[in-house]
């Protein structure tokens, strides 16, 4: 069996969904499981709904209507007549969502989040599987919540592999086109859970692992895994093949093509992962497999903007020791600040971090009691895997380098644009 993943961008409109059909025609769809995300930016739109719900905002209803309108337009573009049963099916899903909003009593934000945000995937797969049947492909729509079982950590649920494995082995039919939702699971009480934002790649890997699949293909709007983001680098080139190890490293440093959790289950069973273009599905794309690195390595560039460089030094000239460092890290964790680079010397300690939730001000108040705190906002962190002089020059040119760290394979530079 092959597992295919189509992300939000690939199904953002009727054109995109028709294109999924074309891809399947070209690459085959027998004995395939499709894992599909919410359409376009639906997950973000549903996050707005959730926010409005908790804020008791007057915009709540209109934000729901917006999501409805968007999907309705897609339905109208795909199916000639409104009598098609998919209209009722999608309408019922929206009614369920509205019923939940009207009757929910739980004040637990993360719980409510998962119950609501999941409609994005439930609706997208309903539309997609109806469209494939409409076009004459026999499909089986699977509610992923009957397969992927998790703990009750809403918004970041942990997979119960044993139960999941049993469900998948027993109930996924071979030899047909199966369509299911990415990103979702369910807990012991059958409440919906989610695996973390952008988690659909991971879903594909979970199914592949449990099915002993032949391969996983992630269909993207780029030709495959590139050595740099073509939006920021001229001459970005496609990596024809990379090892799991290299892919994990790239994902770790922030390359966004593959969700970092995806690789581990695949690597364990040595299931190859392909990243291919949904525009040119017959091109080979990138193959991620065991020991597949091409040598010599191309330098790979990963850019993280909007970082914060913090330097802590001791007030009384004492050393910064393990004890301080573990305390500092506990604070970063507590304030949900992600550390992307660490450098320390005897009396100072520098970190480049991402403050997604804008908590640094509060953290700084605590740190300043014990340390002298210096920081630079809005800096950029460049990581170059397999760097060479020319690659280093590319990122340092016309910039002020605030910090640099070099190891055998990887060079990281924190810069301020000047
Ligand atoms: N729809 C979810 C998200 O946007 C999951 C995914 O796309 O992978 O985060
Ligand atoms: Mg998405």
Question: CB neighbours of 9 closer than 8 A, spacing ≥ 6?
Answer: 16, 40, 220, 221
Residues facing residue 343 across a β-bridge = 350
Query: What pLDDT, on a 0 to 100 scale, did the predictor assign at position 344?
Result: 86
Q: Is the pLDDT of residue 170 over 80?
A: yes
Closest CA to ligand 1's atom 3? 198
- Tell me, what's the pLDDT at 16? 98
The residue whose CA has the least distance to atom 7 of ligand 1 is 198
What residue's CA is closest to ligand 1, atom 5?
A: 198
pLDDT of 418 strictly over 70: no
The encoded tokens of residue 48 equal 């707005």
Distance 218 CA to ligand 2 centre (A): 13
The alpha carbon of 1 and the centre of ligand 2 are apart by a number of angstroms equal to 24
Residue in 148, 120, 147 with CA at minimum distance from that of residue 42:
120
CA distance 340 to 396: 19
Would you say the CB of residue 182 lies under 6 angstroms from ligand 1? Answer: yes
41 close to ligand 1 (CB < 6 Angstrom): no
Position 253 scores a pLDDT of 85
Q: What is the pLDDT of residue 45?
A: 98
Contact 346, 319 (CB under 8 A): yes
Q: According to the model, what pLDDT value does residue 318 have?
A: 77
pLDDT-derived band at 2 (thresholds 50, 70, 90) equals very high
pLDDT, position 232 = 80
Distances (CA, A) of 339 to 243, 307, 308: 25, 10, 10
CA distance 222 to 325: 41
- Expressed in angstroms and rounded, the spacing between residue 38 Cα and the centre of ligand 1 is 6
Query: In the structure encoding, which two tokens stand for residue 154, read together?
Result: 């809403």
For strands 399-406 and 241-243, give the pairing: unpaired
Q: Does residue 317 surpass a pLDDT of 80?
A: no
CA–CA gap between residue 120 and residue 162 (Å, rounded): 27
Q: What percent of the chain has pLDDT over 70?
A: 100
Looking at ligand 1, which atom is closest to the CA of residue 38?
1
Structural domains of the chain ordered from first start? 2-220 (3.40.1160.10), 300-417 (3.30.2130.10)
User: pLDDT band for position 338 (50/70/90)?
Assistant: very high
Closest ligand 1 atom to residue 44 Cα is 4
Q: Are 301 and 395 in contact (CB under 8 A)?
A: yes
Neighbours of 266 (CB within 10 A): 26
φ/ψ of 183, rounded to 5, equals 80, -20
Q: Are 119 and 99 in contact (CB under 8 A)?
A: no
Q: Which atom of ligand 1 is least distant from the CA of 8? A: 7
**46 CA distance to ligand 2 middle (Å):** 11
Q: Please check the confidence at residue 395 and state whether its pLDDT lies above 80.
A: yes
Residues with CB under 5 A from ligand 2 (ion): 8, 37
Question: Which ligand gives the minimal distance to the CA of 196?
Answer: 1
Q: Which residue has the higher pLDDT, 357 or 64?
A: 64
Q: Is 126 in the pocket of ligand 1 (CB under 6 A)?
A: no
Name the residue at shortest CA distance from atom 6 of ligand 1. 198
Residues 8, 37 contacting (CB under 8 angstroms) = yes
**Global confidence as pTM:** 0.91
The 10s digit of each residue's pLDDT in 80-136 is: 778 899 999 999 999 999 999 999 999 999 999 999 999 999 999 999 999 999 999
Q: Which ligand is nearest to the CA of 123?
A: 1
The mean pLDDT of 194-198, rounded to a whole number, is 94
- Using left for φ > 0, alpha for ψ between -120 and 50, and beta otherwise, residue 58 falls in alpha
Residue 65 has pLDDT above 70, yes or no: yes
Residues 6+ away with beta carbon under 8 Å from 198: 256, 259
- Which pLDDT does position 363 carry in this prediction? 96
Ligand that lies nearest to the alpha carbon of residue 200, given by its number in the listed order: 1
For the chain, the distance separating the N- and C-terminal CA atoms, rounded to the nearest angstrom, is 52
Question: Ligand 1: which residue has its CA nearest to atom 8?
Answer: 198
What's the mean pLDDT when you consider all of the chain? 94
pLDDT digits 0-9 by tens, 213-236: 999 999 999 999 999 988 888 888
HEC profile of the chain? CEEEEECHHHHCCHHHHHHHHHHHHHHCCCCEEEEECCCCCHHHHHHHHHHHHHCCCCCHHHHHHHHHHHHHHHHHHHCCCCCCHHHHHHHHHHHHHHHHHHHCCCCCHHHHHHHHHCHHHHHHHHHHHHHHHHCCCCEEEECHHHCCEECCCCCCCCECHHHHHHHHHHHCCCCCEEEEECCEEECCCCCEEECCCCCHHHHHHHHHHHHCCCEEEEEECCCCCECCCCCCCCCCCECCEEEHHHHHHHHHCCCCCCCHHHHHHHHHCCCCEEEEECCCCCCCCEEEECCCCCCCCCCEEEEEEEEEEEEEEECCCCCCCHHHHHHHHHHHHHCCCEEEEEEECCCEEEEEEECCCCCHHHHHHHHCCCEEEEEEEEEEEEEEECCCHHHHHHHHCCEEEEEEEECCCEEEEEEEEC
pLDDT digits (tens, 9 = 90+) for 293-314: 877 788 999 999 999 999 999 8
Contact between 33 and 3 (Cβ < 8 Å): yes
Q: Sign of torsion, CA 315 320 322 328?
A: positive
40 CB within 6 A, ligand 1: no
Model pLDDT, residue 376: 96
pLDDT (tens digit, 9 = 90+) per residue, 238-263?
Answer: 999 999 999 998 888 888 778 888 99
Reading the block at residue 158, the tokens are: 């942990």
Distance 221 CA to ligand 2 centre (A): 13
Q: Does the beta carbon of 200 lie inside 6 Å of ligand 1?
A: yes
Report the nearest atom of ligand 1 relative to the CA of 183.
5
């Amino acid at each position: 069996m092959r597992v295919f993943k189509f992300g939000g961008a690939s199904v953002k409109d009727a054109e995109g969904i028709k294109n999924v059909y074309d891809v399947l025609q070209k690459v085959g769809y027998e004995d395939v499981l499709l894992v599909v995300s919410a359409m376009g930016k639906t997950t973000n739109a549903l996050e707005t709904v959730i926010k409005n719900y908790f804020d008791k905002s007057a915009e709540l209803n209109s934000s729901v209507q917006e999501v409805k309108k968007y999907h309705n337009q897609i339905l109208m573009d795909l199916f000639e007549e409104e009598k098609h049963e998919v209209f009722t099916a999608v309408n019922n899903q929206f009614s369920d969502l509205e019923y939940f909003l009207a009757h929910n009593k739980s004040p637990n934000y993360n719980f409510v989040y998962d119950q609501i945000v999941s409609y994005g995937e439930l609706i997208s797969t309903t539309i997609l599987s109806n469209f494939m049947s409409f076009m004459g492909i026999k499909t089986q729509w699977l509610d992923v919540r009957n397969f992927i079982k998790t703990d009750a950590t809403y918004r970041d649920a942990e997979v119960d592999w044993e139960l999941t494995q049993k469900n998948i082995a027993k109930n996924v039919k071979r030899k047909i086109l199966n369509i299911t939702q990415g990103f979702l699971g369910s807990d012991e009480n059958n409440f919906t859970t989610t695996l973390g934002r952008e988690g659909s790649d991971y879903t594909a890997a979970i199914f592949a692992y449990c099915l002993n699949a032949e391969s996983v293909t992630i269909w993207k709007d780029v030709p495959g895994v590139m050595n740099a983001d073509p939006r920021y680098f001229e001459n970005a080139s496609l990596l024809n093949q990379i090892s799991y190890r290299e892919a994990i490293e790239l994902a770790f440093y922030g390359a966004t093509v593959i969700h970092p959790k995806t690789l581990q289950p695949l690597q364990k069973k040595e299931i190859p992962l392909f990243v291919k273009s949904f525009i040119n599905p017959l091109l080979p794309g990138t193959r991620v497999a065991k020991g597949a690195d091409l040598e010599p390595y191309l330098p790979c560039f990963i850019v993280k903007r909007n970082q914060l460089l913090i330097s802590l030094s001791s007030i009384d000239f004492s050393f910064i020791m393990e004890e301080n460092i573990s305390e500092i890290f506990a604070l970063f964790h507590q304030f949900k600040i992600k550390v992307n680079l660490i450098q320390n010397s005897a009396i100072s300690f520098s970190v480049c971090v991402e403050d997604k939730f804008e908590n640094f001000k509060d953290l700084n108040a605590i740190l300043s009691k014990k340390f002298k705190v210096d920081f630079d906002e809005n800096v950029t962190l460049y990581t170059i895997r397999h760097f060479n002089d020319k690659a280093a020059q590319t990122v340092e040119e016309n910039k002020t380098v605030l910090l640099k760290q070099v190891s055998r394979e990887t060079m990281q530079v924190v810069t301020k644009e000047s």
